[in-house]
Structure 1
Amino acid sequence: MGGATFQGSEAVPERLRSPARAVFDWVPLVIVALLWELASGTVVAEAILPSPVTVSGEIWELLVTGEVYSHLFVSLFRIAVGLGLSIAIGVLLGIGMARSDAVENFFDVFLSMTYPIPKTALVPLAILWLGVGTSTAILIVFLACLLPIVLNSYNAASDVDRNLVWSAKMMGTDGRRLLWKVIFPATIPEIMTGVRQAVPIAFIALVSAELIASNEGIGYLILTSGQIGNYPTMFANIVIISAMAFVAVRGFEEARERVLTWT
């Protein structure tokens, strides 16, 4: 991923390693784009699979006209709220389950039962409860992102060094102070790993929800463009939301590295 190194990087001079790593990271995307270009109009009819050049032109058109911005804002807002709620509740729930047998026994069965269920299968139920729109999309994003955050928070809190906790108690730290000054800081790396896993899941869940239960957002644009046979616009919106997901993941990785250097 963002922090990965490529084989033989030790032979590259230090000042050239970052540019070389950036080039290496983009090679797979370039290969996919070339294969896509070759397939368009040969293996698959160009009317069904527009070439990358055609899709790039459509992306430019959407950005220049501003048609996509309102829908993109709606989608990103839904992701931010759903993911934010999953982080807040997931961290508290995971740490609570690790530190209290009663909390763990109460929520363990619920989490075990809901884990195998594809969250998009809950969209019809969410529509009955909340209707078509933002609330349903936020709920699906929240449910999809919750489990990895809960599990990582639970594992991190369970693995906190017992000697560290014992030493803090011996120094008079107890109750909430023990939680916030000892346990929570020790779990930050694992919690951020769970959030890193949840970020791409949030985009997947959002588009899935918007394809079924929305009248705005990028997923809605993808659906409506495909329904009328406007495949260049459909692919353009797919590329746009994919690029947003890529930026979000890389941005979070950079933020995680900075946070972890402080901890």
Structure 2
Amino acid sequence: MAHADTGSLGVLPRRFQHATRLIVDWIPLAIVVVLWEFASGTAVPADVLPSPVTVSVQIADLLATGEIFSHLFVSLFRFGVGLGLSIAVGVVLGIGMARSAPIENFFDVFLSMLYPIPKVALVPLAMLWLGVGTGPAVLVVFLACLLPIIMNSYNAAGDVDQNLVWSAKMMGTEGWELLRKVVIPATIPHILTGIRQAIPIAFIALVSAELVASYEGIGYLILEAGQVGNYSLMFANIVVISAVAYAFVTGFEIARDRVVVWT
């Protein structure tokens, strides 16, 4: 996640700069938690909006009993398969469209029609095709993540410095070798940006699908807790999946920055 503008921190000793940036980054969340604590039991009844303390206790109970881990594993498996498929298909399709007019013409209309459709609206159709469980969740995650990866790959491959391409061709590099040695390395930073954009989309699509078409997973736990009126448990599951999603995004950003430096 991008840091706030903290250019003035340069006047501080280096050992304090990182800690200060962390504090600045987490101030908005701290404000939300304080407002949440204030609203619980005052502006909103505490049984409908449990306080952060109550939710924290519920999270501790979930972790202590281990009840949540099997559902979390199922959700992360669906997330990984759906996102992985979208990366494999999206990168190949995006680069192919950028480097080949027939491929672009063939897929352009399909992608233009798919783009404006809310992917959550495809959950009932996915249930009809694949039943209830992992299949619909993977399909919805795949479709939700496909467009940002395709578009970033497409734009990156289309913007490759032509001087590099011409130089490679003059040295006898053609076809697949040109893609492997010139085009793909040049597109890696943009492809990684597309994957970064797709990760939170994947979690949104995953939970949305599990709310409707699953009997396990974090989305199912959220729905089940809400249906029986256990709102502290519902909020606890929401906080857990939010924290997991944040950890994935942050970890990917760290890895991406290192890869971009190498490339």
Q: Tell me if the contact between 1:5 and 1:21 (Cα under 8 Å) persists in the aligned partners.
A: no
Unaligned runs of 5+ in 1: none
Offset at 1:4?
Answer: 4.6
The whole-number CA distance in structure 1 between the counterparts of 2:166 and 2:7 is 43
In the TM superposition, what are the counterparts of 1:177-216 in structure 2 within 5 Å? Answer: 177-216=177-216
Amino acid at match of 1:157: A
1:121 aligns with 2:82: no
Report the counterpart of residue 71 of structure 1 in structure 2: 71
What is the TM-score normalised by the length of structure 1?
0.98
1:18 aligns with 2:15: no
Offset at 1:16?
Answer: 1.1
SS of the aligned residue for 2:67 comes to coil
Q: Tell me if the contact between 2:152 and 2:193 (Cα under 8 Å) persists in the aligned partners.
A: yes
In the alignment of these two chains, the number of paired residues is 263
The whole-number CA distance in structure 2 between the counterparts of 1:80 and 1:224 is 24
Percent of residue pairs bearing the same amino acid type: 69
Report the counterpart of residue 172 of structure 1 in structure 2: 172
The whole-number CA distance in structure 2 between the counterparts of 1:239 and 1:224 is 16
Amino acid at match of 1:45: P
Report the counterpart of residue 103 of structure 1 in structure 2: 103
Q: Tell me if the contact between 2:49 and 2:231 (Cα under 8 Å) persists in the aligned partners.
A: yes
The whole-number CA distance in structure 2 between the counterparts of 1:255 and 1:207 is 25
SS of the aligned residue for 1:164 comes to helix
Q: 1:10 to 1:58 in 2, by over 3 A?
A: same
The whole-number CA distance in structure 2 between the counterparts of 1:107 and 1:170 is 31
Q: Tell me if the contact between 1:2 and 1:253 (Cα under 8 Å) persists in the aligned partners.
A: no
The whole-number CA distance in structure 1 between the counterparts of 2:190 and 2:5 is 21
Offset at 1:6?
Answer: 2.3
Q: Tell me if the contact between 2:3 and 2:21 (Cα under 8 Å) persists in the aligned partners.
A: no
Report the counterpart of residue 145 of structure 2 in structure 1: 145
The whole-number CA distance in structure 1 between the counterparts of 2:2 and 2:70 is 29
Q: Tell me if the contact between 1:2 and 1:250 (Cα under 8 Å) persists in the aligned partners.
A: no
The whole-number CA distance in structure 2 between the counterparts of 1:80 and 1:177 is 30
The whole-number CA distance in structure 1 between the counterparts of 2:73 and 2:209 is 16
Q: Tell me if the contact between 2:3 and 2:25 (Cα under 8 Å) persists in the aligned partners.
A: no
The whole-number CA distance in structure 1 between the counterparts of 2:153 and 2:171 is 25
Offset at 1:217?
Answer: 0.2
The whole-number CA distance in structure 1 between the counterparts of 2:248 and 2:71 is 17
Report the counterpart of residue 251 of structure 1 in structure 2: 251
Offset at 1:220?
Answer: 0.1
Offset at 1:32?
Answer: 0.6
1:32 aligns with 2:42: no
SS of the aligned residue for 1:173 comes to coil
1:57 aligns with 2:54: no
Offset at 1:14?
Answer: 1.9
Q: Per-residue displacement from partner, 1:147-195 (whole Å, max 9, x unpaired)?
A: 0000000000000011100000101111111001100000001000100
Report the counterpart of residue 157 of structure 1 in structure 2: 157
The whole-number CA distance in structure 2 between the counterparts of 1:118 and 1:11 is 47
Q: Tell me if the contact between 1:149 and 1:194 (Cα under 8 Å) persists in the aligned partners.
A: yes
Q: Tell me if the contact between 1:81 and 1:138 (Cα under 8 Å) persists in the aligned partners.
A: yes
CA RMSD of aligned residues (A): 0.9
The whole-number CA distance in structure 2 between the counterparts of 1:204 and 1:170 is 47
Offset at 1:257?
Answer: 0.6
SS of the aligned residue for 2:255 comes to helix
Report the counterpart of residue 85 of structure 1 in structure 2: 85
Report the counterpart of residue 228 of structure 2 in structure 1: 228
Q: Tell me if the contact between 1:214 and 1:220 (Cα under 8 Å) persists in the aligned partners.
A: yes
The whole-number CA distance in structure 2 between the counterparts of 1:87 and 1:111 is 16
The whole-number CA distance in structure 2 between the counterparts of 1:27 and 1:207 is 27
